[in-house]
Amino acid sequence: MAELKYEIVETLGSLGENSRGWNKEVNLISWNDREPKYDIRDWAPDHSRMGKGVTLSADEMAALKDLLAEIDFDSFD
């Protein structure tokens, strides 16, 4: 299996921490020297290991932002 190369170009924020101390983060990441994309996944505190996540283009991230803006989160209480 080929080695996965990544560079965290910009850390946008953390959504929370799990019981193992890993953070669910939103980052801008360049995978295998490609154009950076938005990425949401769990990371070990030193970023040496990662969990499964989702990678989004700028257009997909904008669509997600619009979708989230339409949701009434108060109805989930």
CATH code reported for the domain at 6-71: 2.30.31.70
Query: Mind listing the pLDDT tens digit of every residue in the chain (77 residues)?
Result: 678 899 999 999 999 999 999 999 999 999 999 999 999 999 999 999 999 999 999 999 999 999 999 999 888 87
Q: Give the global pTM.
A: 0.87
Within 1-77, residue ranges assigned H as helices are: 58-70
User: Which sequence spans correspond to the domains of the chain?
Assistant: 6-71
Quick one: pLDDT at residue 4?
86
Distance CA 28, CA 12 (A): 7
pLDDT at residue 48 in the model: 92
Q: So what's the pLDDT on residue 57?
A: 98
pLDDT value of residue 71: 93
